[in-house]
Structure 1
Amino acid sequence: MLRYVLNEADVATVRFGISPLCELGLSLRAIREPSRFPLQLPWLSRTEAARADLDLDALLALIDNRMWTPDFLNPRPASPLTRLDDEFAVLAAVPADEFVRDLVAVHGHVPDVFAGPPRAAVRRIVRALRELWAATFEPYWPRMRAVLEADVVYRGRQIAQGGLSVMLNGISSTVSYSDGVVSVRLKDPNDRVQHIDGNGLTLVPTMFTRRGSAPVGDGPPLIMYPARGQGALWEAEQVANPAALAAILGETRASLLSALGDPASSTELGVRFGVTASAVNQHLRVLRDAGLLVSTRYGHSVLYLRSELGTALLEAPRPPVE
C-alpha cells in the first residue's frame, strides 16, 4: 500500500497532467501481454506489422513480469500540454546512477541488453521509443489524446460538483481518499508513506493501466489511473435514439446528443460513430448553436458536452399514444 499524505495546503496542489512518454512506457504492458488489455486489442492489431521492425529486445527489457516499468519512463508531466520531445530530452540526460538504480528497482539487476556504458544504453532506449512512437502512436495519438483530455475535463467537473474526495474515490477501485490520505493499493507488498509537503500530487490518465499505478521509487507524488472512454475509441458506436428526437434532429445529431453526457472531442466522436471529422464538426456546431451543447477548449482539442437544455430535451417523456 502506498499512502500520500496531504495537508490542507496540499489539497489545492492536486492537478492533472498528460504524458506521452508515460503512455509509451505503459504501452509495453499491452505489447507484452495483450490478453490483459482487451480494450487495446484493436490498437495492437492495427500496429502489429509495424512493431515487427522495432527494437523489441530493448523495449521489452524495460518491463518485468509484474508489469513494472522503471521510473525514468514515468515522468511527472509539467502540464496537461507536455511535449514528447521535451520528455525525450529529459530522458536522454538522465544521470547514469539514476538510470541504473531505476532498472535495478524493477528487475533486481541491469538487463543484459543494457550492459555496458549507461549513456549508450540510454541512447538506444530513446531511439527505440522514438521508433515505437512513430510506428504505433503518431497515427493514433489525436484520438488517444482526445480520450485523455476528456477524462481530465470530466474529473474537473467532478471536483467542481462534488469535491476532491468524490473525484479521488472514483478514479480507480484501487485508489481511495479519506481524511487527507490518498491510498493506492499496489502489487508491491511493502507499505510506503509519502508526505506531499507542498510538492503537489499529479494525476495522470492513461490508456494502459487497469488499476491505479504509482512510481516504483519515492519520486515526485504521482498516480496513473485508467482513463474513461477507452472502450469506445476504436469501434464505431451505434446509439439507440428516441424515435421522436431522431425525427426532429436527424439520427446522427440525436446520436451525438445522446453520447455527449460525458465530454468528448470531434475526433473521438468521428471514430466512435464512423463519421468524417468535417461532418461531425458541422453537426456539433448546429447543436451548440441551438443551445443543446456547450464546448470548452482543452489543450489542442475542443470538447463538447450536453447542456441542461439538451439533457431536458433528451429525457423529455414521450406523450402517450392514443
Structure 2
Amino acid sequence: MRTELAFSADDLAPTRFSVSPLWEVVTSFRVLASTARNPIHHTWADQVRPRIAAAGLDSGWLAELVPVSGYIPDFLTPIPHGLASTLESELSVVRDTPTDDVRADLDRLGTFLGTRGATLRADPRARLCRLTDEIETYWELALAPYWARIRALLDADVYHRTRQVAEHGAGHLFNDLHATLSWDDNTLQLVRRHCLITRESTGPGLVLVPSAFASHVLTWTRSPHPPQLTYPARGAATLWERRPVVRADAIAAVLGRTRAGILAELESPTSTTTLAARIGLSAAGVSQHLTALRDAGMVSTHRAGRSVLYARTSIADSLLCDSA
C-alpha cells in the first residue's frame, strides 16, 4: 500500500522537528510487551521488565491501550511543543483531551482489538487522570534513569537532519529519513502504511519526531493539526553499547578515585546497595559520595518502587567518555 501526502510551499514552511517523551513511552512499552528478544534494546529491556512487572504496569492501562503492533490511540501522543517538550506538558494535553476524541480513538482501537479501552471509554474525563498517573510511574521506572542518553541520541538525530536540509534541501531529508519514505514531485510517499493520510484530513505542515524505540514509521493525524511522522532515530542501534571510560584517571585527579570509580560503574542505573557491593565500600559511604555527585549535577536519582536508582547524567558522560 502506498500513501501520498502532497506538499505546497505553505506546507513545507511550517514543517518542523520535535522530541516527544510520550512517543518514547508508547514505543518503548511496545518493546517491553513483545515476547521476541529485541536485537537493539534487549539490554535495556532486561533491566526494566522486572521493575515494570513489580509495579503491575505490565497489565495496566498502557497494556490495554498500546498493542504490540497496529494502531495506537492518537490522544496518547499529542502534538509535542518543539524540542523542549516535556512529559509534564504532554500529559497535561492528554488529560484535557475532549471526550469525543478519546472515544473516537478507542472506537478505532476496538475495530482491531475488540473491547480494549472500554473502561476508559465509559468515563474518559475521570479516568484520564489515572492513566496519566500510570504513565508517570512508567516513565520513572523505565525511561527517566536513561533519559540523558536517549535525549542525546534524539538531539543528535535532529541536528543531523537539519544539516541535511541546510546542505541538500527537504527532498534529500525525506529520502534519507526511512526506507519506506520517499520524496518525488512535491509529494511525500509512504509505503506499506495501514493509515491513510490526506491533506483533507490534516492541517498544513508536518511534525517529524525521531524515536529511540520505534522500529518503523508511525503516523498521527487529527484535524486541524499537522500530521506527525515518528521515525527510528539515527544511531539507535548503538544506544546501549557500553561506552569506554577513557578519562578516569584525569577525573580521579579532580574528584578523587572513589567518586570517579562510582561514576564509571554507573554505566546503567544502579542502586546504592549494588554499587557498594561492586566497589567494596559501605552503603552509607557510597550514599555520601552519590549525594555530592548529585549536587554537582553528575548523577540523577530515580525512584523504583522501594529503592532509588542512580544514573550518570550527560555532564558526567561528556567528562568520562569520548562517545558522549
State TM-score, norm by structure 2: 0.70
Alignment match, 1:259? none
Residue type of the alignment partner of 1:97: D
The answer to whether the 8 A contact 2:208-2:230 is kept is yes
Give the aligned residue type for 1:54.
Answer: G
Higher helix share: 2
1:229 maps to a residue whose letter is G
Instruction: Choose from 215, 221, 231 the match for 1:225.
Output: 231
In the TM superposition, 1:31-50 aligns within 5 A as: 31-33=32-34, 35=36, 37-50=38-51
What are the Cα deviations for residues 50-104 of structure 1, in whole angstroms up to 9, with x where unaligned?
A: 1011333311111235332110112221211101111111101111111111111
Cα pair 2:202 2:227 within 8 Å, conserved: no
Cα deviation for residue 271 of structure 1 reads: 5.8
Report matched runs for 1:283-322 at 5 Å.
none
CA displacement at 1:214 relative to structure 2: 0.4
Whether the 8 Å contact between 1:159 and 1:166 is mirrored in structure 2 is: yes
1:204 to 206, 209, 213: 209
Aligned match for 1:105, one of 103, 108, 130: 108
**Equivalent of 2:178 in 172, 175, 178:** 172
Residue 2 of structure 1: SS of its match in structure 2? strand
3-state DSSP of counterpart to 1:61: helix
Taking structure 1 as reference, are residues 87 and 192 closer, same or farther at Cα in structure 2, changes over 3 Å only?
closer
Matched-pair contact (CA < 8 Å) for 1:10–1:197: no
CA–CA separation in structure 2 for the residues paired with 1:107 and 1:37 = 27
Deviates more, 1:134-143 or 1:229-238: 229-238
Q: Which whole-Å CA distance do the structure 1 matches of 2:62 and 2:321 have between them?
A: 42
Give 3-state SS (helix, strand or coil) of 1:94's partner.
coil
Aligned residue identity for 2:173: M
Distance 1:37 1:14, change over 3 A: farther
Cα distance between partner residues in 1 of 2:183 and 2:140: 38
Q: Distance in 1 between matches of 2:41 and 2:319?
A: 26
Is 1:67 aligned to 2:70, yes or no? yes
**Does structure 1 residue 148 correspond to structure 2 residue 150?**
no
RMSD over aligned CA atoms reads 3.2
* Alignment counterpart, residue 56 of structure 2, candidates 54, 57, 64: 54
The 1-side partners of 2:161 and 2:180 are apart by 17
For the structure 1 residues 144 and 5, does the alpha-carbon distance in structure 2 shift closer, same or farther, using more than 3 Å as the test? Answer: same
Give 1:243's aligned residue: none
Q: Secondary structure at the match of 1:38?
A: coil
Higher mean displacement: 162-171 or 100-109 = 100-109
Partner residue, 1:256 = none
Name which of 102, 121, 125 aligns with 1:119. 125
In structure 1, stretches of 5+ residues that fail to align are: 239-250, 254-266, 285-302, 305-322
The answer to whether the Cα contact below 8 Å between 2:3 and 2:193 also exists between their aligned partners in 1 is no
Alpha-carbon separation, structure 2, partners of 1:283 and 1:33: 32
2:319 alignment partner, one of 261, 281, 287: 281
User: Is 1:25 aligned to residue 13 of structure 2?
Assistant: no
Does structure 2 conserve the Cα–Cα contact (< 8 Å) formed by 1:100 and 1:110?
no
Q: Does 1:88 pair with 2:126?
A: no
Distance 1:160 1:198 in 2: 25
SS of the residue aligned with 2:226?
coil
CA distance in 2, matches of 1:101, 1:36: 33
Give the aligned partner of residue 167 of structure 2. Answer: 161
Q: Contact (CA 8 Å) 2:99, 2:124: kept in 1 or not?
A: yes
Deviation at 1:196, TM superposition (A): 9.3
Q: Which residue of 2 aligns with 1:13?
A: 14
Paired residues of 1:10 and 1:196 also in contact (CA < 8 A): no
8 Å Cα contact 2:219/2:229 also seen in 1: yes
8 A Cα contact 1:106 1:216, kept in partner = no
**For 1:174 and 1:68, how far apart are their aligned partners in 2?**
18
- Residue by residue over 1:151-179, the C-alpha shift from the partner in whole angstroms, topping out at 9 and shown as x without a partner, is 00011111112111111111111111111
Distance 1:165 1:88 in 2: 33
CA distance in 1, matches of 2:68, 2:149: 29
Gaps of 5+ in 2: 248-262, 269-311
How many residues end up aligned between the 2 structures?
257
* CA–CA distance in structure 2, aligned partners of residues 283 and 187 of structure 1: 40
